Homo-oligomer: A and B are copies of this chain.
Amino acid sequence: MNEVKVAILGASGYTGAELVRLLARHSGFRIQAMTGDRKAGQPMASVFPHLAGLELPDLVAIGDVDFGAVDAVFCCLPHGTTQEVIAGLPPHVRTVDLSADFRLTSLDSYATWYGHPHKAPELQTEAVYGLTELKRAAIKGARLVANPGCYPTSVQLPLVPLIKAGLIETADIVIDAKSGTSGAGRSAKEANLYCEVTEGIHAYGVASHRHAPEIEQELAEAAGHPVLVSFTPHLMPMSRGMLATINVRLAKGAKAADLRAEWTKVYGAEFFVRVMGEGGVPQTRHVRGSNFCVMGVFDDRLPGRAIVLSVIDNLVKGASGQALQNMNLMFGLPETQGLDQQPLFP
């Protein structure tokens, strides 16, 4: 098969660089163009020295990309500009968008959470939500995939099958999530300086984080009725990794073992999802650098409740890895291609 020619828009950030790392070992795609407005004109190896030695085009401005010569786009641009750029792509281009711009299917919800009307409403309707394991069929035929957020990925993978199976109730879902700092991106902000992040932890976006409506949208779809969740994200001193600790109310009579059995049924054949046995505790460091999601579950001390634990690498399964997984699907390639490496530990 011929190589698919891809452009990476916004390649000067962490998710862009991670795509390059993954695509570097992928024989099905060829990086045709990479953009980075402030770094246009620079070779990638000077922006990201760990990517030296690869044959890569230099960074250019978006306006300088010949999209006619491109089959597919990974869009790693910031929220807001994304929708206008994607709306301007020629129709033959298939896109996986890593921003939040096309994740919310409700135009009202978008306007509420982002403070302005959507600028490409017809695309928003067309876009397919790209949580691969749960939306595989729709993704295959999609022209535009909205790649899920990192937190939503870590939460939906364990919860959606449990809701669908009626094993947990949708009231009182309490999500306590911990993220690595790469999720905050590479832009220079005081709050993300080494001295401000190392050796400590704090919550942020408490009860107001934009990933909450995204989580709720997908859990609602699984439940068939609206769902609200408690969602408290935390920033902590790790570059990569994400842990969701989720306290859920069990359906009457259900036990942690039933949840585990359901996961095994649903995910038993999935390469990237691992279900730990009884007593197993997922650790973020054991999925570092990989596209895996590992989950475990415990009966809670509170009767009728359970504690669900789920880990991913926020830059891989939570961003660039899942984006590649989706693009593989869209172009008929093996879903795991370019994504089969083991985690890096220690």
Chain A residues with CB under 8 Å of chain B are 14, 17, 21, 24-25, 48-54, 172, 174, 176, 178, 180-182, 186-190, 192-204, 206-208, 212, 228-232, 234, 236-241, 243, 245, 247, 271, 274, 281-290, 292, 294, 298-303, 305, 307, 309, 311, 340-346
A182 to B345, CA, bound (A): 10
Q: List 17 A-B contacts (CB under 8 A).
A: A21-B343, A25-B341, A50-B287, A51-B342, A52-B274, A53-B292, A178-B234, A180-B199, A181-B195, A187-B190, A194-B196, A195-B346, A201-B284, A203-B281, A228-B302, A236-B236, A239-B346
A240 to B228, CA, bound (A): 34
Q: Nearest Cβ in chain B — how far from A339, in angstroms? A: 12
Q: Nearest Cβ in chain B — how far from A43, in angstroms? A: 11
A52 to B234, CA, bound (A): 22
Q: Nearest Cβ in chain B — how far from A166, in angstroms? A: 21
A112 to B228, CA, bound (A): 38
Q: Nearest Cβ in chain B — how far from A244, in angstroms? A: 10
Q: Nearest Cβ in chain B — how far from A278, in angstroms? A: 11
Copies of this chain, whole number = 4
A188 to B193, CA, bound (A): 7
CB closest chain-B residue, reference A237:
B237
A186 to B192, CA, bound (A): 10
CB closest chain-B residue, reference A213:
B301
- Which B residues touch A285, using CB under 8 A? 50, 196, 199-200, 202
Q: Nearest Cβ in chain B — how far from A112, in angstroms? A: 13
Q: Which of A25, A51, A195, A285 has the most CB of B within 10 A?
A: A195
CB closest chain-B residue, reference A343:
B50
A91 to B35, CA, bound (A): 56
Known: A52-B286, A344-B344. 15 other contacts (CB 8 A): A25-B342, A49-B294, A174-B302, A176-B176, A176-B232, A176-B245, A182-B195, A193-B193, A194-B237, A200-B285, A202-B284, A203-B309, A206-B307, A239-B346, A289-B289
A345 to B180, CA, bound (A): 13
Are B21 and A344 in contact, CB atoms less than 8 angstroms apart?
yes
- Which B residues touch A237, using CB under 8 A? 194, 198-199, 236-238
Q: Nearest Cβ in chain B — how far from A16, in angstroms? A: 12
Q: Which of A25, A49, A192, A197 has the most CB of B within 10 A?
A: A49
Are A346 and B287 in contact, CB atoms less than 8 angstroms apart?
no
Neighbour of A207 across the interface among B54, B181, B197, B301, CB < 8 A: B301
- Which B residues touch A240, using CB under 8 A? 199, 346
